[in-house]
Amino acid sequence: MDILKPDYYYIEAGDCEIDQLTSKDVAEKYGEEVIIIPAEKKISTSEIINKILEFHRDEKIEIEVK
């Protein structure tokens, strides 16, 4: 968030309040609005990454490391 400085910061969580977010201070530092989206289904970050990789499995992916 320090680099991108988005206008909104969305987090999917069904069981937390804005004051409990560790990233709340960084978001508010740039005037971002923190929006909590209720979690309807538990899904892990690994599942999301695997779905993206599966969708693009036939494409060559290049990662630039600086």
Is residue 1 pLDDT above 70, yes or no?
no
Q: Which long-range contacts (CB under 8 A, 24 or more apart) does 24-29 make?
A: 26/1, 26/2, 27/1
CA dist 24 and 34 (Å) reads: 7
User: Where are the chain's structural domains?
Assistant: 8-55
Tokens of 32: 């971002």
Note the pTM of the prediction, 2 decimals.
0.39
Q: Please write the tens of the pLDDT for every residue from 22-65.
A: 777 777 777 777 777 776 677 777 887 788 788 777 777 677 78
